[in-house]
Amino acid sequence: MKFTLKVWRQPARDKPGRFETHEVSDVSPDTSFLEMLDILNNRLEGESKSPIVFDSDCREGICGACSIVINGRAHGDGEGTTTCQLYMRNFKDGETLVLEPFRARAFPVLKDLVVDRSAFDRIIQAGGYVSVNTGAPQDANALPVPKVNADLAMDAAQCIGCGACVAACKNASAMLFVGAKVSHLALLPQGAVERERRVLSMIEQMEAEGFGNCTNEYECEAQCPKQISVSNIARLNREFYRAKARE
């Protein structure tokens, strides 16, 4: 197969960027999208040109490192997949592909297709955990959790923190990311003690990082590789007003 790539190249954080065009050919349909970029990068290196910088690690859809906007969609067109889980057989031979970083005010570009997502870490630092020290908590089975709640909590906890929700949103809102963590812990008895404090501080940090507001476009759910439901945003709002009311 053969493709034309228009790739965002930007040498560093505060430097201007531009699109650069590359042709790749002889790509086998079984090649993954990132392997196709590996092939291109190897060619560039062989020609003493600088390879395209992009994040990836696990290459199986779980670490959340890979983060490319392909033809205007975060992680491309596939449903419930990350960039690393795309295979070239899913694209049309001869297609032109536009590759951009996950753009957002809170995600500054570091180089080419790599952005700084440390804002997400800071939101978690603000309270996205249960405050227990390592030690000898009670026996794990002393605290039964209804299976329905455990399953719902797991649905939310699956978030891989890639930032596609932010990249997909015209407001660059992080509500789905925050909602997923708040829901995971609000649904479990372990999270109950810090329930109010958690949602208030995480929202405060989210705002301080410069993420936008949610205006119910639902693009986040549509482009989320783990298909995390927007019902988590609704739960986040409920949790927020509940906590405010008790403040």
Partner 1 sequence: MILDSKIPDGPLEEKWDRHRFNLKLVNPANKRKHRVIVVGTGLAGASAAASLGELGYDVLSFCFQDSARRAHSIAAQGGINAAKNYRNDGDSVFRLFYDTVKGGDYRSREANVHRLAAVSVNIIDQCVAQGVPFAREYGGLLDNRSFGGAQVSRTFYARGQTGQQLLLGAYGALMRQVHAKKVKLYTRHEMLDLVVIDGKARGIITRDLVTGALERWIADAVCLATGGYGNVFFLSTNAKNCNVTAAYRAYRRGAYFANPCFTQIHPTCIPVSGDHQSKLTLMSESLRNDGRVWVPKNKGDQRSPRDVPESERDYYLERRYPSFGNLVPRDVASRNAKAQCDEGKGVGPGGYGVYLDFSDAIERDSLATIQAKYGNLFDMYEEITGENAYHVPMRIYPAVHYTMGGLWVDYNLMGTIPGLFVLGEANFSDHGANRLGASALMQGLADGYFILPYTIGGYIASQSGLGGQTTQHEAFAEAESAVRERAEKLLSVNGKRTVDSFHRQLGKLMWEYCGMSRTRGGLEHLLKEIPGLRAEFWENVTVQGSPGEFNQCLERAGRVADFLEFAELMATDALSREESCGGHFREEHQTEDGEAKRDDENFCHVSAWAFKGVGVTPELHKEPLTFENVKLTQRSYK
Which residues ranging from 134 to 163 are in contact with partner 1 (CB under 8 A)? 134-141, 143-147, 150, 153-154, 157-158, 160-161
Judged by CB under 8 A, which of 7, 76, 85, 102 binds partner 1?
Answer: 85
Q: Does 63 bind partner 1 (CB under 8 A)?
A: yes
Nearer to ligand FES, 67 or 173 (CB): 67
Contacting partner 1 within 215-234 (CB under 8 A): none
- Identity (one letter) of the amino acid at 13? R
Report the residue from 3, 7, 24, 31 that binds partner 1 according to the rule CB under 8 A: 31
In angstroms, the CA 100 to CA 8 distance is 5
12 binds, among partner 1, ligand FES, none (CB under 5 to 8 A by kind): partner 1
Distance CA(45)–CA(51), nearest Å, equals: 6
Q: Which does 196 bind (CB under 5 to 8 A by kind): partner 1, ligand FES, none?
A: none
Q: What's the order of all strands across the beta sheet hosting 73-74?
A: 18-24, 3-9, 96-101, 68-70, 73-74
CA distance 179 to 214: 11
Spatial distance between the Cα atoms of 100 and 42, rounded to a whole number of angstroms: 20
We find the least distance from the C-beta atom of residue 88 to partner 1, in angstroms, to be: 9
Under a CB-based contact definition with an 8 Å cutoff, are residues 36 and 26 in contact?
no
Interface pick for partner 1 out of 14, 18, 48, 170 (rule CB under 8 A) = 48
Whichever of 96 and 118 has its CB closer to partner 1, that residue is 118
Q: Which is nearer to ligand FES, 34 or 214 (by Cβ)?
A: 34
User: What tokens appear for 225 in the block?
Assistant: 């590789």
Least CB distance from residue 87 to ligand FES, whole Å?
A: 13
CB of 223 to partner 1, least distance (A): 17
In the chain, the amino acid numbered 2 is K
Tell me the window of 92-100, 116-124, 213-221, 235-243 that interacts with partner 1 (CB under 8 A). 116-124
CA atoms within 13 A on the CB side of 244: 8
Per CB under 8 A, the segment of 125-133, 171-179, 211-219, 239-247 that binds partner 1 is 125-133
The DSSP secondary structure of 13-49, one letter per residue, reads TTS--EEEEEEE----TTSBHHHHHHHHHHHHHHTT-
